[in-house]
Amino acid sequence: MIDWIAFDADDTLWRNEEYYLEGREQFFKILTKYGLDPEDIHQFDRFEVENIQYFGYGAMSFILSMIELAIEITEERIRPGDIQQIIQLGKKMLTHEVILFQGVGSLLETLSSVCPLMLITKGDLFHQQRKFKASGLGGYFKALEVVSEKNPEVYAEILQRHGIQPDRFLMIGNSLRSDILPVLELGGWALHLVAHPTWSHEDDPLAESTPDRYLEVESIPGVHACLIGAGLLQG
Amino acid sequence: MIDWIAFDADDTLWRNEEYYLEGREQFFKILTKYGLDPEDIHQFDRFEVENIQYFGYGAMSFILSMIELAIEITEERIRPGDIQQIIQLGKKMLTHEVILFQGVGSLLETLSSVCPLMLITKGDLFHQQRKFKASGLGGYFKALEVVSEKNPEVYAEILQRHGIQPDRFLMIGNSLRSDILPVLELGGWALHLVAHPTWSHEDDPLAESTPDRYLEVESIPGVHACLIGAGLLQG
């Protein structure tokens, strides 16, 4: 019923958003030394989104956005030592350990015995590959696709390259904008992990009526039963 | 005689190193305002190489290394406005126009009519994809591989995925370390563009005797005749 199952990585298989939130908290702590109001600091998202055009998505873009914002918002009063602190924060984010969500190992073991699995992840190539290696999950996946954007064109290119019909393809992820909507648009299946954390920029709303081939569960331990219930896997 | 021809991108098909050198010159100009001796500034390479473990290769790693070096070498005297200047330098590097080396278009047109071409390039995914798109060369290539490292394992994985025998594979590039030596090690063919600029970190020496399957020409206009001369293409 399905020829390939693809997974998103960050915040789908392993924890990610919490490291950004923690980095951001520590960044705010640095800035409050300059008498800044946390309200002002919240233009952070704007900086980050504007910088995507230069730096793409990922931790390096996040670090550079923090530095730019810190300089602007302190009106150039920020001390170089604090900028160095921000870079250290970033290096910590780039090398944190990879912590899998509960049930990921057994789910991948089950699914990989039924059909080939693919990982489709967005961000810094080097960082994503490092996490993939550190996750220990490599053996379950037949393909790893690191992409700089997740839109219908990018998914279509991946499906074409692997010779996959859209309606025989299932994507599982936490982000409506990146993992779910573009795949539905192509005519594929998409399973949304609704209780997994998601960066606010990734929070596109779903259409009012439930689209065809859209599935949702709270989290990883619900995935297998959901796929059987939808008739995509045999019970 | 050859099933696939692969090209490196930066400093092989289009100009790249000169933007780094220009960025570095402008960076040095900023630092000389702090009374620094250009000799000291030349520890730049050390910073950049040390940061590869965090940031990988590419322009964002270069920007972050400039910022770190500027803070350390000025003993935290650097003004935030100058750090902002460094980031602007970086953004310029990330968005410069793509200028092809002379003869690239006609070479690719000729070769792509004979066998499939692949681009294998190292660096920031987003930046490399942007340049690939801006180059207008997309139509000549059957595959684009952006990698975070170019070593024998990475090439072996690419060859395996595309079902290519190493001795039926030719790589063309400017960097002995990244484009030539790992491919020769696998038993592939490699053509070195000796007169193209190369980052010093990429300058691994060739073994004393000329290895098997190693070819060299000055630059792009010599490639076609060289391949015919080596018997890899028909005249």
B21-53 pLDDT, tens digit each: 899 899 999 999 999 877 777 777 788 888 989
Helix locations, chain A, DSSP H: 17-32, 38-41, 44-55, 59-73, 80-95, 104-112, 125-135, 152-162, 181-186, 223-229
Rounded to a whole number of angstroms, the distance from the CA of A224 to the nearest CA of chain B is 29
In a 3-state reduction of DSSP, which class is residue A164? Answer: coil
Count the Cβ atoms, other than its own, within 10 Å of residue A123: 23
Average pLDDT, chain B: 92
- Residues of chain B contacting A146 with CB distance shorter than 8 Å: 125, 146
Confidence class for position B208, pLDDT limits 50, 70, 90: low
- pLDDT at position B218: 96
Q: Give me the mean pLDDT over the A89-94 stretch.
A: 92
Q: State the pLDDT at residue A208.
A: 67
Mean pLDDT of B64-68: 93
Residues of chain A with Cβ-Cβ distance to B134 below 8 Å are: none
Q: What is the chain B residue with the closest CA to A74?
A: B80
Query: Do B61 and A60 count as a contact with CB atoms less than 8 A apart?
Result: yes
Give chain A positions within 8 Å (CB) of B64: 60, 63-64, 87, 90
CB contacts of B142 in chain A (<8 Å) are: none
Coil, helix or strand for B148?
Answer: coil
Which of helix, strand or coil describes residue B145? strand
Query: How many of the other CB atoms lie within 10 Å of CB of B36?
Result: 16
Contact A61 B60 (CB under 8 A): yes
A3-22: burial string, b at 16+ Cβ within 10 Å, e else: ebbbbbbbbbbbbbbebbee
- The nearest alpha carbon in chain A to B95 belongs to A54
Cα B234 → chain centroid:
29
DSSP B208: S
Task: List pLDDT tens digits, range A106-127.
Answer: 999 999 999 999 999 998 999 9
Give the per-residue pLDDT at A164: 98
pLDDT the model gives residue B49: 87
User: In this complex, do B80 and A81 lie within 8 Å of one another by their Cβ atoms?
Assistant: no
Nearest residue, CB atoms, A64 vs list B63, B95, B125: B63
> Taking 70 as the threshold, does the pLDDT of residue A212 lie above it?
yes
A235 pLDDT tier (thresholds 50, 70, 90)? confident
Residue-level length of chain A? 235
From chain B, pick out residues whose CB is under 8 angstroms from the CB of A60: 55, 60-61, 64, 124
Measured between CA atoms, the residue of chain A closest to residue B63 is: A64
- pLDDT at position A182 is 97
Residue in chain B lying closest to A94 (CA): B54
pLDDT of residue A113: 96
For the residues B141-148, what does the mean pLDDT come to? 95
Dihedral sign, Cα of residue B69, residue B75, residue B78, residue B84: positive
A68/B87 Cβ within 8 A: yes
All structural domains of chain A: 4-14+99-229 (3.40.50.1000), 17-95 (1.10.150.240)
Distance from CA of A189 to the nearest CA of B (A): 26
Single-letter code of the amino acid located at A148: S
DSSP β-bridge partners for residue B170: B5, B189
Interface test with B, best of A31, A34, A54 (most B CBs within 10 A): A54
Interface residues on B facing A, Cβ-Cβ cutoff 8 A: 54-57, 60-61, 63-64, 67-68, 70-72, 74, 76-81, 83-84, 87, 90-91, 94-95, 124-127, 129, 146-148
Q: How far is A75 from chain B (nearest CA, A)?
A: 9
Closest by Cα among B65, B71, B116, B119 to B93: B65
Q: Is B231 a residue whose pLDDT tops 90?
A: yes
Residue A81 has pLDDT above 80, yes or no: yes
- How confident is the model at residue B203, as a pLDDT? 66
Quote the CA–CA distance of A78 and A33 in Å, as a whole number: 9
Does residue B207 register a pLDDT over 90? Answer: no
**pLDDT reported for residue A103:** 97
Which residues in chain B are contacts of A127 at CB distance < 8 A? 56
Q: What is the pLDDT of residue A49?
A: 87
The ipTM (two decimal places) reads 0.85
Do B126 and A148 make contact, defined as CB atoms within 8 angstroms? Answer: yes
**pLDDT at residue B172, as a whole number:** 98
Which of A61, A80, A125 faces B76 most closely, judged by CB atoms? A80
Tell me, what's the pLDDT at A230? 95
Amino acid A39: pLDDT: 73
CA distances from B226 to A164, B9, B71, B221 (A): 40, 19, 48, 10
- % of chain B beyond a pLDDT of 70: 97
Q: B14-18, B105-109, B208-212: which range is least confident on average?
A: B208-212
- Angle, helices B80-95 vs A80-95, to 10°: value is 50
Cβ contacts of A64 on chain B, cutoff 8 Å:
60, 63-64, 87, 90
* Element containing residue B106 per DSSP (H, E): helix B104-112
Find chain A residues with C-beta within 8 A of B71's C-beta: 80-81, 83-84
Give the pLDDT confidence score for residue B57 in this predicted structure: 85
Please report the sign of the dihedral spanned by the C-alpha atoms of residue B134, residue B140, residue B144, residue B150. negative
Question: Which tens digits make up the pLDDT trace of B155-175?
Answer: 999 999 999 999 999 999 999
How many angstroms separate the CA atoms of A42 and A53, rounded?
Answer: 20
Q: Once rounded to an integer, what is the mean pLDDT over residues B72-79?
A: 94
Please state, in angstroms and as integers, the Cα–Cα distance from residue A16 to each residue in A70, A198, B82, B100, following that order: 23, 9, 32, 39
Task: Report the pLDDT value the prediction gives residue B227, as an integer from 0 to 100.
Answer: 97
Average pLDDT over residues B104-127: 96
Tokens for A214, please give them.
């859209």
Minimal C-alpha gap between A71 and chain B (Å): 6
Residue A191, classed as helix, strand or coil, is: strand
The residue in chain A having the minimum alpha-carbon distance to the alpha carbon of residue B56 is A126
- Predicted pLDDT at B210: 77
Instruction: Write down the pLDDT at residue B80.
Output: 96
Q: How far is A62 from chain B (nearest CA, A)?
A: 11
Q: pLDDT digit string (tens) for A168-211? A: 999 999 999 999 999 999 999 999 999 998 876 666 677 667 78
Size of interface A-B (CB pairs under 8 A): 92
Using an 8 Å CB-CB cutoff, list chain A residues near B57.
126
Query: How much is the pTM?
Result: 0.89
